Structure 1
Amino acid sequence: MNFQKRLFKRIQKSPPLFFLLAYLTVILIGTLLLCLPFSSAEGNFTSPVDAFFVSTSAVCVTGLTPVTTASFWSPLGQAIILLLIQLGGLGVMTAVGALALLTGRKLGMSQRVIFMEEKNEDELTGLVRFLKFILKATFLIEGLGALILASQMVPQFGLVKGLIYAIFLSISAFCNAGFDPLGPVSLSDYSSNPVVLLTIAALIIVAGLGYVVYIDFFFRKTKRIRLQTKMVTAMTLLLLTLGTLGIFLMEYGNPSTIGGMGLGEKTLNAFFQSASLRTAGFFSFDQAAMTRPSSLFSCFLMFIGGSPGGTAGGLKTTTMAVLVLGLIARVRHTRDLPVFHRNCTRENFQQALILFTASIFWITIVGFLIQLVEADKEFLDLFFEVISAYGTVGLSRGITGNLHALSKILVAITMVFGKIGPVTMLGALLRPAKYRGHRVAEESVMIG
């Protein structure tokens, strides 16, 4: 009993631990539902490992899956996956807050703190208004995306099926999930359809910007745009441009990807690949057929991911920008981190360095362990898989379904790590340091 009381008190005092447990609870509920016969197309029990993997992938809005979503799951199973995607895209605590608002309940202080943790907010004031804005913006954008996609899907699949596909794709794209109901080829059949590819790319990009950016652009009360918005916008445009140009040049002559397309289609598909690498997971050509340089370049983009405060995963654009600024400042022997006529704080740089270091350590350790288990598989394929899981991207070089059960569990844990973030994950698992009333003396060591 004493252990239970201590655990309950620790959960109350630790938002990161509560945050982690909330996500794990939703994942486990999803796992149980997907295991049951009514979730599979054939009416059989699903392997607990595969159900856990898919549930984790949906809640963490990743898109990696060991089975084909369109054929393996029943309509009810696909509906469960879509619900998990929506919960993961909004954020579990955002969904809890939305339920509280619908039932007329007020958000307590602890709920506000956890919601702030989930959305990377620094202030408690105005969180209820922010929550309402998130819900309105999410459903409005998803609805608009579904209408545009329905104009292409309904003529092809009929009214009911076309609408279902359009809604599924819109929610999955805006939540940066990468699940689709179209089969193992994903959007390959639409590689020459700019309406479908550009709509999904737009949903991915808009979601990856973050809700704070929406507010700053459309509802700001002053003329000055915040530094956060400027950095997010600049980094997003830079990475989309570099990604498009890089994929276009490296895959230009590859007949297995975009080599056989016309110039316009090559540009369209290179842009779509660049957008999807921002943690979405859709693809319009075979990922396993890409050249090695393209695959490694894709890993770099997946590692960075989207921007904080939205549905995207990865290290985040602002984190990478601050790291580069800190490196330049160190080389120039200055403490300033200037950008857009402002200075980022040294605390920002320390946070970015911690995130980067923790992420590299995690990816290295998990990659090593999976390579031990999957000794017969190519290192690049496994590395691509781990980076995709960390960035909650969902792209794969076709090995997910053939992974050992232990590898699937490691990849699933990496999705959780990438979704909630290294600092939150470690903060949930480690106890806070106790103040002992004194500090030992400091001593410098050589670095580098």
Structure 2
Amino acid sequence: MIDINIKDGIDRLKLNPAQALVVGFAGLIFFGAILLNLPIASQNGNSIGFIDALFTSASAVCVTGLIVVNTAAHWTLFGKIVILVLIQIGGLGFMTMATLLALLLGKKITLKDRLIMQEELNQFTISGLVKLTRYIIVATITIEAIGAFFLSFKFIPTYGLAKGIWFSVFHSISAFCNAGFDIIGNSMESFAESFIVNFTIGVLVILGGLGYSIYLDISNKKSFKRLSLHSKVVLLITGVLLVVGFVAVLFLEFNNDATLGQLSFKGKILGSMFQSIVPRTAGFNSIDMGAITNATAFIIIILMFIGGSPGSTAGGIKTTTVGCILFSVFSVIKGYKDVEIYKKRIPVELIFRAIAVIGIGLAIVVLAVTILSITEDASFLDILFETVSAFATVGLSRGITSNLSIVGRLIITFTMFVGRLGPLTMAFAFAKKQRSKKGLYRYPEDRIIVG
């Protein structure tokens, strides 16, 4: 009922879709913080404190996975269930869950509801949004159930029937929603050489990071050549990043005894594969992030900043944003007047939007890193890693999260929140402003020297 109440409150505030998303997610985070701040949520029977509860709730709703306390050791079953519910709602979007409840209760889906859903799901039109929402919910439940089924083959023999099923369900949802929360205690380090755990978690993360429109396009077209340009770009950039990440981690960490060096050859391959997938924004780790080389950390920072794809459970500036910029660079180098890919021309408005998303993202990261460099006693690389992880809603850390000051925790909380909503919302705001002025007037053209 909380989602319905949030949605009704948004309706009364007369907010536009972008503002509605901000208020809706903020309301959900504060509600989660209240629940996690209850003594019943902590193993020691004491309140964790509202700042830490707020941080954890924001990390769950923003499907990030950064933690100030060990999830397995600190939270009771009640606390873990609250976190899991927040992950599921945050991954799918509060409007998706509110729409589900509205449909179950027979309530009408209004035009404003559809506009907010369009903003949240990053769709071109409001046509077919309710149908898409039904598909999202069914697809999510199906994929998470299949993931839990495969994980149970390893978790049940390891932890017993009841605990094994619970662990399988929790980590399947956390992986598909790209959250990265674990209730094992050391993420996936205990299963670094387990093929079924690495492969299942990896596939869930990739599927969660692709976006539901890709599933529909693939199921309808059944051929790469017939796919939409959006789907082709998502699959192309995702494939390139996975290969580059795999090769980089394998090469840079192969002989590092603190990470891949201690594993068998199979473990090295699985570890490299896993760590090339999870920066896209899941946050699990099968090797110690604090022990990786500086070069590997920098590669992972880049992968985290890019993130997943639009309309998915992942964060970051998105694969299509990077694709637009890369295609623009190639077009300039080749001397093309238009930006072309797969025999299609990309509108200049999309290039402007991509530049805006990257610019806003970099500005947020630079501002947060600057403040944290003043308030925190940690190396610059660790602070940069933590900030990008928060902004891109990844959840990987080099071990400084629990040592952050109150100011640092609030900065990271805000960065997670802005990273979940900011760049996408801002980019749409810029596009709408540009459309509203289109055709009124144009200034005379002039030139500046570039490069």
Determine the structure 2 residue equivalent to 1:214: 215
- 2:168: which partner in 1? 166
SS in 2 for 1:343: strand
How big is the shift at 1:379?
A: 0.4
Name structure 1 gaps, 5 residues minimum: 1-6
Letter in 1 for 2:404: L
Task: Give the equivalent residue in structure 1 for 2:78.
Answer: 76
| 2:391 paired with 1:390 | yes
Q: Using the TM superposition, give the Cα deviation of residue 219 of structure 1 relative to its aligned residue in structure 2, in angstroms.
A: 2.9
- The one-letter amino acid of 2:263's match is M
Q: Can you give the 5+ residue segments of structure 2 that lack an aligned partner in the other structure?
A: 1-8
Q: Which runs of 4+ in 1 moved over 6 A?
A: 7-10, 426-429, 431-435, 437-440
Alpha-carbon deviations, 1:314-348, whole Å to 9, x = none?
01111001011112333444331111121221111
| Aligned partners of 1:363 and 1:387 also within 8 Å | yes
Shift of 1:252: 0.7
Give the equivalent residue in structure 2 for 1:360: 362
Q: CA deviation at 1:440?
A: 9.3
| Identity level (%) | 39
Determine the structure 2 residue equivalent to 1:4. Answer: none
Corresponding residue to 1:141 among 124, 140, 143: 143
* Greater Cα offset, 383-392 or 411-420: 411-420
**Alpha-carbon contact 1:212-1:309 (below 8 Å) kept:** yes
Q: Is the 8 A contact 2:357 2:426 kept in 1?
A: no
Partner of 1:130: 132
- Check 1:408–1:428 CA distance in 2 against 1; reply closer, same or farther (3 A cut): farther
CA contact (8 A) 1:176 1:280 kept: yes
Distance 1:76 1:379 in 2: 37
Taking the TM superposition and a 5 Å limit, the aligned residue runs for 1:259-408 are 259-374=261-376, 376-408=377-409
Structure 1 CA distance, aligned partners of 2:396 and 2:165?
Answer: 25
Q: Counterparts of 1:228 and 1:157 in 2: how far apart (Å)?
A: 42
Structure 1 counterpart of 2:131, which letter?
R
Q: Helix, strand or coil for the counterpart of 1:29? A: helix
CA contact (8 A) 1:17 1:427 kept: no
The CA distance in 1 between the partners of 2:220 and 2:443, in whole Å, is: 50
Q: Could you tell me which amino acid in structure 1 is paired with residue 397 of structure 2?
A: S
Deviation, 1:46, is 1.2
TM superposition shift of 1:85: 0.1
SS at match of 1:178: coil
Q: Aligned equivalents of 1:367 and 1:291: distance in 2? A: 20
Does residue 46 of structure 2 align to residue 40 of structure 1? no
2:58–2:413 CA contact under 8 A, matched in 1: yes
- 2:395 aligned partner, one-letter code: G
The equivalent of 1:3 in structure 2 is none
> 1:36, 1:242 → 2: CA distance?
44
- After superposition, what is the alpha-carbon deviation per residue over 1:381-418, rounded to whole angstroms, capped at 9, x for unaligned? 00000010011100000000000111111111111111
**C-alpha RMSD of the superposition:** 2.3
What are the Cα deviations for residues 208-242 of structure 1, in whole angstroms up to 9, with x where unaligned? 11100000111349982101111111111111111
Residues 218/9 of structure 1: CA separation in 2 closer, same or farther (3 Å cut): closer
Deviates more, 1:157-166 or 1:326-335: 326-335
Residues 357 and 427 of structure 2 are in contact (CA less than 8 Å); yes or no, is this contact kept in structure 1?
no
Structure 1 distance, partners of 2:231, 2:313, is 16
1:104-119 alignment to 2 at 5 Å?
Answer: 104-119=106-121
Contact 1:11 1:17 in 2 (8 A): no
Q: Aligned pair count?
A: 438
Alignment partners' CA distance in 2, 1:155 and 1:423: 43
Paired residues for 1:89-104 under 5 Å: 89-104=91-106
Give the AA of the match of 2:423. P
Aligned to 2:16: 14
The 1:148/1:47 distance shift into structure 2, 3 A limit, reads same
Preserved CA contact (<8 Å) 2:193 2:266: no
Match of 1:52 in 2: 54
Partner SS state of residue 66, structure 2: coil
Alpha-carbon distance between aligned partners in 2 of 1:123 and 1:447, rounded to the nearest angstrom: 39
